[in-house]
Amino acid sequence: MLKKILSRLSVGVIVTNAVRLVLILGFISSFYKGRELAMAFTIMAFIATFIPKILSKFDIHTGAEMQVVILLIIYGSLFLGEVRGFFAYLWWWDILLKGVAGLALGFIGLTVILALEEQELLDASPFMIITLSFALSFTLGALLEVIEFSLDNWFGFALQQIGTGIMAHDLIIDGVTALVVSAGGYLYKKRGGGNPMSGFIVRLMKGNPKLFRSEKHLESSSDKIKSIIQKGESSKLEFKSSLRTNLYTNVLDKNIEFAVLKTLSAYLNTDGGILIVGVSDKGEILGLDKDAFPNSDKLKLHFNNIIKEHIGTQFMPFINYELFDVDGKNVLKVECLPSANRVFLKENGQEEFYMRNGPSTMRLNGSALVDYISQRFN
């Protein structure tokens, strides 16, 4: 019984609940010792562990990365800062923590700006991009100082009397660290580098388009998908009604899932193409509700996993997918590029080879397979 319960719990849930338990014990200990500041930090940290859950109620999905960030903040500011009393006994600890926090804010600012650029929400030169990242990082640092100042005045804490003791000094530390990170980002950007840090931000933007995109853009995206659907199926465009559910029996069906994978592998083996899931053969928008995923993140994770399992991780760069809201229903658009290497679809220890022939997917074997591979890939 215990094993079944544990198997249903993710590592993130176990860790988060363990931290919550430690915070409760920390609050009790601080209460008996009369450490009001530690009590306040403990309460705020405890509330912070529920932020991802609260945001999910508003259809804002943050993913596991947000959990990690929150836990790191709790550990750094609470346990190393106040509960263990480092502020009180090590005069340089606050300066060190301010420097580390400044670097973190610098990377946050740089990551957000680069993610905005990557999602085509920002179009500027490398110099302007880094200038904006510095401004955002410094603003976050200043906001942190305002929060500390407010806590000191409202609750009688002494957050700004510890360490440097001067707000201007703390702002200088924030500015210097933001400048260092921004300068490094500028050099990286000038050399033509991409964005190695913004995967979480990009996924957050893609998973919550209504939060980051204007209504005009969303309508435009919806119209683009509609215009593609109106063209009808062809050698490079195919529709699937669902990802994993048989709409006639309303049960999960591996054959439905496998049909999607066959089309993708065929696209990879031929000239590429687009697959739209959640649309009937006649072009009717059905959505993906019947696939019964709890949220968009779970759907994308499942789709990502079955591609890795049945097609192969090495072919992931050739497959791009995104969810779109069309008339209030989610549809999955998958775009495949032609692969330079042959792609075999794996199932139950067997390998099958598919290619596109007009608007249909064909399985090849025997001499036909040998001839096609010789012609297409050599």
3-state secondary structure labels for all residues of 119-155? CCCCCCCHHHHHHHHHHHHHHHHHHHHHHHHHHHHHH
For residue 18, pLDDT beyond 90? no
In the structure, what pLDDT confidence band is assigned to residue 120 with cuts at 50, 70 and 90?
Answer: low
- Residue 274, pLDDT above cutoff 80: yes
Mean pLDDT, range 224-233, rounded to an integer: 84
Q: How confident is residue 84, by pLDDT bands cut at 50, 70 and 90?
A: very low
pLDDT for the residue 32: 78
Q: How far, in Å, CA of 175 to CA of 242, rounded?
A: 51
- More confidently predicted of 93 and 196: 93
| Predicted confidence (pLDDT) at residue 292 exceeds the cutoff of 50 | yes
Same domain? For 36 and 78 the reply is yes
pLDDT computed for residue 261 by the predictor: 94
- Average pLDDT for residues 340-347, to the nearest whole number? 91
- Return the higher-pLDDT residue of 185 and 200: 185
Assess whether 167 and 277 both reside in one domain.
no
Tell whether 149 and 264 lie within a shared domain: no
Spatial distance between the Cα atoms of 311 and 314, rounded to a whole number of angstroms? 9
- Note whether 144 and 254 are same-domain residues: no
Per-residue confidence (pLDDT) for residue 345, from 0 to 100: 93
pLDDT value at position 306? Answer: 93
Asked whether the predicted pLDDT for residue 205 surpasses 70, the reply is no
**Could you tell me if 295 and 183 lie in one domain?**
no
Same domain assignment for residues 249 and 189: no
Provide the token pair at 203: 């996924």
The secondary structure element, H or E, covering residue 65 is helix 64-74
Q: Say which residue, 299 or 77, is predicted with more confidence.
A: 299
Domain count, the chain: 2
- pTM of the full predicted structure? 0.49
pLDDT of residue 64: 52
Domain limits for position 201: 11-206
In a domain, 189, yes or no: yes
